[in-house]
Amino acid sequence: MAAADESAPAASRVVWVNGPIVVGAGPAGLSVAACLRARGVPCVVLDRADCIASLWQRRTYDRLRLHLPRHFCELPGMPFPDHYPEYPTKRQFVDYLNAYAERSGVQPRFNQAVTSARYDAAAGLWRVRAEDVSAVAAAEDAAATTEYIGRWLVVATGENAERIVPEFEGARDYAGPVSHVSEYKCGEAYRGKRVLVVGCGNSGMEVCLDLCDHNALPFMVVRDAVHVLPREMFGVATFSIAVLLLRFLPLWLVDAILVLLARLFLGDLDKLGIRRPPGGPLELKNARGRTPVLDIGALARIRSGHIQVVPGIKRFSRGGAVLVDGRRVAADAVILATGYHSNVPQWLKGSDFFTEEGYPRVPFPHGWKGESGLYSVGFTRRGLSGVSSDAVKVAQDIAVEWEKQTSTR
């Protein structure tokens, strides 16, 4: 076996993994681990958090629901309970994930923050180094690092691993609290306050709506053009309509129909300060990962004046912000609803399978398999349905190789 990376300190222990090493214990990691176990393939699942689906459990607001109907969000082999609503709540989805892991027998190793993963070509194996977060926090450095060695590596950390915090001129001059939407739970703490919400995606819109429900005064910063669609049309989920139309029509035509229907249902959003981008909603989702906003009531609050739409921020001042159009907005607090990004390039070394942005270079539907036993799950820009599709393909492919090896032995 080739020597480990000499630039890294020696691991305190080395673990041989008799099967794939799965990095990430969110829906993607749980799905592929469950599919592997169903095919008799053992695996080890590593996660830096102390629970499964830490994004859902620790970094989402209380009022969050699944944006799509539940049947589009089921993980392989287990439907949602019949008593669940069409759009399950955050708590219901977390309960579903816990039940899924228990039923599948998936037991992740928590507090394992992967710092590097590199393919050892001489040995034909993957070397994955992980720090024990709990040991590091206790300053027990001598027992903090483990090197996992195995034949296959499955990257399942997802598209939302790290929060995006943009830099603004004068940010240090601002006297009020600034937080990311990942820290927001509900609007009670902002009651009666003027809150500047930077971002107009699904999170930004819903946070503004939640702030209104708690008698706060939200100002929503709309920097870029964005597609806003009704969550349902004619009593049917908009996503269901899109899926049906794509069976018979090309994507560009489905996009045109969705935009036309959105205008009929929602009216002219330019009057509200919300511009539509030139590309269609599905085109932008597939090409750039820009998810269209599904309106659940925020537009009505904008029209009533309870949510004020403002353009981009030029710079911050002590009591608020100066906008690009020269206006000043006073704000008691700032919430950055600026999204998340993949962190794969930070720890996956020596491989060009992922781009600098952390997505597979090969486009959907073929971006789930790399070389030398490298796989990815949950980077399709197609939500939980894409996660399930990837998980099934990856598990099937690894199972074939696993059966060859075990039958040979």
Residues 28-57: pLDDT tens digits?
999 999 999 999 999 999 999 999 999 999
Give Cα separations from 142 to 4, 10, 123, 282, 356 (angstroms): 18, 10, 27, 50, 32
Distance (Å, whole) CA 258 – CA 265: 10
Helix boundaries (H) for 86-213: 90-104, 133-137, 202-213
Please give the share of the chain, as a percent, with pLDDT higher than 90: 83
- What pLDDT sits at residue 3? 38
Pair 313, 215 in one domain: yes
Pair 240, 351 in one domain: no
Pair 395, 374 in one domain: yes
In a domain, 6, yes or no: no
Pair 171, 104 in one domain: no
Q: Lowest-pLDDT range, 170-174, 308-312, 362-366?
A: 362-366
Pair 180, 281 in one domain: yes
- What pLDDT sits at residue 4? 42
Mark 298-308 as b/e (b = at least 16 C-beta within 10 Å).
bbebbeeebbb
**Single-letter amino acid code for the residue at 254:** V
Number of domains in the chain: 2
Pair 278, 382 in one domain: no
| CATH number of the domain where residue 293 is located | 3.50.50.60
**Helix H or strand E segment including 317:** strand 313-317
Distance (Å, whole) CA 47 – CA 383: 20
Distance (Å, whole) CA 278 – CA 115: 40
In a domain, 1, yes or no: no
For the entire predicted model, the pTM comes to: 0.90
Pair 269, 314 in one domain: yes
**Contact call for residues 22 and 32 (beta carbons, < 8 A):** yes
Domain boundary pick from 336, 357, 391: 336
Distance (Å, whole) CA 232 – CA 240: 9
In a domain, 2, yes or no: no
In a domain, 4, yes or no: no
In a domain, 107, yes or no: yes
Does the pLDDT value for residue 7 go beyond 60?
Answer: no
Distance (Å, whole) CA 229 – CA 261: 8
In a domain, 294, yes or no: yes
Helix boundaries (H) for 314-366: 344-347
Residue of higher predicted confidence among 381 and 156 = 156
Pair 271, 207 in one domain: yes
Q: Which domain holds residue 296?
A: 164-336
In a domain, 372, yes or no: yes
Q: Which residue has the tokens 């739409």?
A: 309
Q: Which two tokens stand for residue 302?
A: 């904008």
Pair 279, 368 in one domain: no
Pair 205, 105 in one domain: no
**Single-letter amino acid code for the residue at 288:** R
Domain boundary pick from 320, 336, 352: 336
In a domain, 118, yes or no: yes
- What pLDDT sits at residue 9? 59
Give the residue-averaged pLDDT of 11-24: 91
